[in-house]
């Protein structure tokens, strides 16, 4: 396999860390390509565990406890952060997916177990997760697709700005897990990271099946969520709405799409929960909702209406700032419409 230029795949304005590690990891990079060329199983560096001699051997046998599983996931993640090369390979994870997206699988998705995932670097570092660009392709064939991999950070690697309010009502299975979450132990923090990945996957799955404009959810694995890459075939990510200066016609068109999406979510009883011009991508004129782990249930969440009002106010302000008449982008009217769809009395 020939060496690729990862930068080819990274958009400039979406890539604050575009030179991440390329120089310092250069040597490792060669090693990885060599290993691959030699026919050694191309297990990704980020999936490979390095064990030092003085580290105790694992004691547990048989089924792994939740705790052991969480610890392993965290160790893998730490290896990724410490040692992960900017460009790496791994066999496709399609086989061992904790969960897969809904069937029928989209035509563009590579589901061949002989596929190899190639990582082209970070698309964007966020407060709670990093988003990577992955190419899944079958060697020696034309079959390939691009995926976005969102990896929730755990332990000290992230800021928990969303956890407090949103997680409170949700029940953890065991009281020990609840205590770990409440006390923010490493174990608890990793569970929270996994929980966010699972929750966002479930949200994407439900909304995708409802026909909402969201990326197709491909898989989730521990703290990682793989989804459809929203962008061009050359790996240029779609811009966020906040980056655009649409002309009046485009603005009206995007507003229309936004209201339709909000109404569709409302009909399922939801509001986004963190809606803003930063969590909307625009690809070839189509609005795509992203960043959905905190999807808010308007019926069961006592603060649901408050979240809906905040979502609506924030996004209306953006549209009005860009020139849409305030009589059109009217938050009161939109909130009433969504609540009506959700069957919640106003």
Task: Tell me the sheet residues that pair with 282.
Answer: 287
Contacts of 271 (CB under 8 A, 6+ apart): 262, 265, 295, 296, 298, 304, 307, 308, 311, 338
Contact 208, 102 (CB under 8 A): yes
How many residues line the site for ligand ATP (CB under 6 A)?
23
Binding partner of 215, given Mg ion, ligand ATP, none, CB within 5-8 angstroms per partner class: ligand ATP
Instruction: Give the interface segment with ligand ATP, choosing from 104-112, 188-196, 237-245, 302-310 (CB under 6 A).
Output: 237-245
Q: Tell me if 233 contacts ligand ATP by CB under 6 A.
A: no
Instruction: Give the interface segment with Mg ion, choosing from 207-215, 250-258, 272-280, 329-337 (CB under 5 A).
Output: 272-280
- What is the x/- site pattern for ligand ATP, positions 138-157, by CB under 6 A? ----------x-x-------
- Under DSSP, is residue 64 helix (H, G, I), strand (E, B) or coil? coil
- The residue within the footprint of ligand ATP, chosen from 167, 291, 295, 307 (CB under 6 A), is 291
CB of 278 to Mg ion, least distance (A): 6
Distance CA(84)–CA(231), nearest Å, equals 25
Distance CA(121)–CA(124), nearest Å, equals 9
Distance CA(191)–CA(156), nearest Å, equals 13
Contact 25, 86 (CB under 8 A): yes
Q: Tell me if 311 contacts Mg ion by CB under 5 A.
A: no
Q: Is the bond into 219 cis (omega within 30 degrees of 0)?
A: no
Distance CA(92)–CA(116), nearest Å, equals 5
- The residue within the footprint of Mg ion, chosen from 11, 14, 199, 279 (CB under 5 A), is 279
Q: Tell me if 229 contacts ligand ATP by CB under 6 A.
A: yes
- The residue within the footprint of ligand ATP, chosen from 9, 10, 14, 87 (CB under 6 A), is 14
Distance CA(85)–CA(26), nearest Å, equals 8
What are the phi and psi torsion angles at 220 (to 5°)? -130, 145
Binding partner of 158, given Mg ion, ligand ATP, none, CB within 5-8 angstroms per partner class: none
Question: Computed from CA positions of residues 57, 60, 64, 70, in that sequence, does the dihedral angle turn out positive or negative?
Answer: negative
Identify which of residues 237 and 339 has a Cβ nearer to ligand ATP in the complex: 237
Distance CA(18)–CA(5), nearest Å, equals 12
Binding partner of 14, given ligand ATP, Mg ion, none, CB within 5-8 angstroms per partner class: ligand ATP
CA angle 240, 241, 247 (to 5 degrees): 135
Identify which of residues 227 and 335 has a Cβ nearer to ligand ATP in the complex: 227
Distance CA(167)–CA(194), nearest Å, equals 13
The verdict on whether 291 is a catalytic residue reads: yes
Half-sphere exposure of 333 (CA within 13 A, CB side): 7
Report the candidate in 152, 149, 97 with the shortest Cα–Cα distance to residue 294: 152
- The residue within the footprint of ligand ATP, chosen from 145, 212, 230, 295 (CB under 6 A), is 230
Distance CA(35)–CA(91), nearest Å, equals 13
Binding partner of 204, given Mg ion, ligand ATP, none, CB within 5-8 angstroms per partner class: none
Q: Tell me if 291 contacts Mg ion by CB under 5 A.
A: yes
Instruction: Give the interface segment with ligand ATP, choosing from 39-47, 92-100, 121-129, 264-272 (CB under 6 A).
Output: 121-129
Q: Tell me if 312 contacts Mg ion by CB under 5 A.
A: no
Instruction: Give the interface segment with Mg ion, choosing from 154-162, 235-243, 262-270, 276-284 (CB under 5 A).
Output: 276-284
The verdict on whether 112 is a catalytic residue reads: no
Instruction: Give the interface segment with ligand ATP, choosing from 61-69, 174-182, 183-191, 227-235 (CB under 6 A).
Output: 227-235
Catalytic residue numbers? Answer: 274, 291
Positions that interact with ligand ATP (CB under 6 A): 14, 123-124, 126-129, 131, 148, 150, 215, 227-231, 237-238, 240, 278-279, 290-291
Positions that interact with Mg ion (CB under 5 A): 279, 291
């Amino acid at each position: 396999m020939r060496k690729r230029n990862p930068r080819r795949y990274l958009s400039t304005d979406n890539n604050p860390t575009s030179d991440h590690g390329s120089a310092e990891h250069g040597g490792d990079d060669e090693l990885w390509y060599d290993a691959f060329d030699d026919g050694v199983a191309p297990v990704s560096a980020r999936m490979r565990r390095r064990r030092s001699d003085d580290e105790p051997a694992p004691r547990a046998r048989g089924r792994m406890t939740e705790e052991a599983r969480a610890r392993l996931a965290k160790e893998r993640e730490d290896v990724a952060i410490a040692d992960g090369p900017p460009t790496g390979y791994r066999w496709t994870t399609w086989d061992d997916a904790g969960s897969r997206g809904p069937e029928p699988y989209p035509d563009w998705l590579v589901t061949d177990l002989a596929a190899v995932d190639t990582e082209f670097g970070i698309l964007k570092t966020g407060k709670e997760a990093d988003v990577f660009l992955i190419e899944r392709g079958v060697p020696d064939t034309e079959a390939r697709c691009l995926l976005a991999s969102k990896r929730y950070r755990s332990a000290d690697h992230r800021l928990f700005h969303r956890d407090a309010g949103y997680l409170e009502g949700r029940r953890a299975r065991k009281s020990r897990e609840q205590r770990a979450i409440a006390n923010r132990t490493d174990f608890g923090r990793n569970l929270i990271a996994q929980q966010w990945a699972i929750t966002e996957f479930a949200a994407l799955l439900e909304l995708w099946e409802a026909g909402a404009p969201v990326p197709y959810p491909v898989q989730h694995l521990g703290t990682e969520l793989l989804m459809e890459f929203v962008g061009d075939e050359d790996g240029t990510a779609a811009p966020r709405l906040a980056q655009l200066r649409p002309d009046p016609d485009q603005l009206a068109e995007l507003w229309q799409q936004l209201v339709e999406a909000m109404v569709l979510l409302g009909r399922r009883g939801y509001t986004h929960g963190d809606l803003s011009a930063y969590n909307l991508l625009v690809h070839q004129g189509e609005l795509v909702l992203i960043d959905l782990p905190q999807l808010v249930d308007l019926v069961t969440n006592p603060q649901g209406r408050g979240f809906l009002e905040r979502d609506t106010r924030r996004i209306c302000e953006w549209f009005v700032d860009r020139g849409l008449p305030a009589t059109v982008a009217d938050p009161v009217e939109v909130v009433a419409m969504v609540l009506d769809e959700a069957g919640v009395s106003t």
